[in-house]
Amino acid sequence: MALDRAVKDKINLKQDPEQDKAAREWIEAVTGEKFSTDDYAEALHDGVLLCKLMNKLKPGSIPKIHTSGGPMKLRENIGLFQSAARAYGVSESEVFQAVDLFDKQNIQQVTLCIFALNRLAQKQNFSGPKLNYQTKLPTYD
């Protein structure tokens, strides 16, 4: 059990709240929908918002989004998003695993996938909002 806790702590250390905030603002701006909760991971947990984001970037890329049903039905949304993201051009190394989001095991990887989607959207001349995030460089005194 201590090892599980150590792994989770290490993953959480990598998570950057500023990146999550920028990703959230971009998803809300592109989809026109506000997150249902302030909990970033929980709001994305069922994949519905990610599917809607994908359909804004590439209309029709996910024809049926599951908005109700048991956990397995909702988890299907994540798989649909992953397939659509790959088809859009997101590299395999940037696409998160379903457990990263559904079980909230590696939310940082989910955020990195969203950043990758934004990069590709700009390359493909997406005319909608751009993800606004400035990398903060360390300062030396």
pLDDT category at 74 given cuts 50, 70, 90 is confident
Residue 14: pLDDT band by 50, 70, 90 thresholds?
confident
pLDDT in tens, 97-125: 999 999 999 999 999 999 999 999 999 99
Whether 35 contacts 24, CB under 8 Å:
yes
Angle at 98 between CA 124 and CA 50, to 5 degrees: 40
User: What pLDDT is attached to residue 4?
Assistant: 56
| Residues 101, 44 contacting (CB under 8 angstroms) | yes
Domains of the chain: 37-124 (1.10.418.10)
Tell me which amino acid residue 6 is.
A
Which of 50-78 are b and which e, b meaning 16 or more Cβ less than 10 Å from the residue's Cβ?
A: bbbbbbbbbeebbeebbeeeeeeebbbbb
Identify the weakest region by mean pLDDT among 13-22, 44-53, 74-83.
13-22
pTM: 0.85
